[in-house]
C-alpha cells in the first residue's frame, strides 16, 4: 500500500488511478494456499517493513515533523501536477494547428 502511495506522489493521483497496472495490482486476488507453518502477512507488518526501507520511523513518531513533511510533499505534488497539466494543455493546442 505504501508503494502505491509513493507511486501516487511520484506520478500524480490521476495517473495512478487511471493506470491499468496499478488497478490490476490493487484488485488482484491471490489464489492457492500458504505453506504449512507460514504466518499470514498482515497489513501492519507490510507497512512497518516499508517504513523501515524508507527510513521514516523516527519522522512518523514525531507528529509535528510528520505533518510538516506531508504538507511539503502535498505542495510539491500539487506543483508538479500543475506543471504536467500545463504541458498537456500546450500539447493539445499544438495539435489543433
pTM tops 0.75, yes or no: no
Distance of CA 83 to the CA centre of its chain: 19
Listed by start position, the domains of the chain span 2-27+43-96
Does the structure show a pLDDT above 80 at 91? Answer: no
Q: Summarize pLDDT for 18-56 with one digit per residue, the tens.
A: 567 777 777 778 787 777 777 778 888 888 888 888 888
Amino acid at each position: 500500500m505504501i508503494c502505491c502511495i509513493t507511486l501516487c506522489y511520484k506520478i500524480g493521483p490521476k495517473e495512478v488511478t487511471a493506470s491499468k497496472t496499478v488497478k490490476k495490482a490493487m484488485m488482484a486476488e491471490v489464489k492457492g494456499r500458504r505453506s504449512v507453518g507460514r504466518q499470514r502477512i498482515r497489513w501492519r507488518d507490510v507497512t512497518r517493513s516499508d517504513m523501515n526501507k524508507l527510513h521514516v520511523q523516527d519522522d512518523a513518531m514525531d507528529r509535528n515533523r510528520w505533518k510538516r513533511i506531508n504538507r511539503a510533499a502535498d505542495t510539491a505534488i500539487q506543483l508538479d501536477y500543475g506543471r504536467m497539466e500545463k504541458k498537456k494543455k500546450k500539447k493539445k493546442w499544438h495539435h489543433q494547428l
